Structure 1
């Protein structure tokens, strides 16, 4: 196995810490960083990143359930969670279509990086000004499901499994405070990533990848979720907000590098 995959495992562990801390799926870090390493194709990175995010979210949810430390009402989140699952499949279909249409993988990577930059900048602006921006609380299952469909489709298309964007959606549309929104984000991510994975398996669109790399990334995702939960207990919402802003800035920087590498270099 290429020694560079050790770096992939380290990235996966560090990114998975962000799940329990601020609801970031980790794929939003894993995908662009591993793309920048150039150790595997764009399709393989998207798939392995999505699986890692799913494992991390399920691991964290199981730990919360076993310790009865969950602060979310799963029933009230079902419309957006189910919507995100539907959107997850739609996003995967769009991604597969783009791979089939564009002449090379670099253009796919450039398109993903460009969309990720736009979303990250918009969410960063909102996060820095959210105290001055009035939220719009969604009421009713249909509007909540539509929000979930949009979110699930975007994150599945980008191969990032939710990233920091779920947190902004939950704060703006559901008036949640940061720590509660982080847990709710993982609940939603679990739905969208499960649907996306099932579609990939059923449609036979699984890319080529190393089984050892898959196992290693999944183990790192579990370890990251365990350590992240322990760190989360020591942090308040203001600390989580600062970590969230740092993660957004990191994502923007990495995505800018990837866009230049795919589209220009």
Structure 2
């Protein structure tokens, strides 16, 4: 099982750093299908893997002096940190209120599938983009992104990319870099919040001995590919990967609802 997790995490984080998917948007649905761990553990594994990927990828971009507008990153990240705390609290509240992990899993998967369908449309269909400069608007956008990513148990990558291209008229290539930077801060706040609220004793930490090294490798390779590949290639890989995850999320939602209500 550790080997399977390692392969999933490596491929997911490679895509995360390469096209801005974050990794969690792949890890969470795939591990849901495997079903070897409960929902809380899967979200924790996803957060740890995505955080490790973001650290590695950003270190690579900083070393290569990839141009980044620090003001945008910091404002979106600040909003994402607050949103991450809010999303984590919403997830805990949903788990306690329902008492049905499968139902929460179904809701997460359904929302994720809907979000991803919108992301695909925003990338494939040409639309008007903006050049948002208002700090409060950027901060609020970061808050929404962080809340969604944390509640859904993903890094938020594809949603980040869609918002960044829409709000700041970034290319897919540039949006992928900014997405990873935002993911670093949002997942950092998510893990800190988890550590303060519940601690890590209740999680299977041994699996991280496989997950984190694989995430580091994926993040490194993905950042190299992002730097070397053309915009058109990144766009194609992004659309294909997001489409596959959207279908998988829809499947997870249907099976979770059947389990919850069909007995």
Give the shorter-chain TM-score range: over 0.9
The 5-angstrom pairing of residues 203-242 of structure 1 reads 203-204=197-198, 206=200, 208-242=202-236
C-alpha deviation, 1:92, in angstroms: 0.3
Counterpart of 2:42 in structure 1 is 45
2:29–2:249 Cα contact (<8 Å) kept = yes
Deviations 1:154-211 (A, max 9, x none): 0000010112110111100011111111111111111111111111111126473322
- 1:89 is matched with 85
Equivalences, count: 259
Of residues 203-212 and 7-16 in structure 1, the stretch that sits farther from structure 2 once superposed is: 203-212
Q: Secondary structure at the match of 1:44?
A: helix
Unmatched runs of 5 consecutive residues or more in structure 2: none
CA distance in 1, matches of 2:36, 2:54: 25
What is residue 110 of structure 2 aligned with on the other side? 114
Distance 1:37 1:171 in 2: 33
TM-score (norm 2): 0.95
What aligned pairs does 1:1-150 form with structure 2 within 5 A after superposition? 4-68=1-65, 70-129=66-125, 131=126, 133-150=127-144
CA distance in 1 between counterparts of 2:202 and 2:33 reads 19
Q: 1:93-116: CA deviations, max 9, x gaps?
A: 000000111122111110100110
Alignment RMSD? 1.3
Partner of 2:160: 166
Q: Please give the per-residue CA displacement for 1:134-167, whole angstroms capped at 9, x wherever unaligned.
A: 1132221100000000010000000101121101
Say if 1:253 and 1:76 are closer, same or farther in 2 by CA, change over 3 A: closer
CA distance, structure 2, for counterparts of residue 230 and residue 161 of structure 1: 20
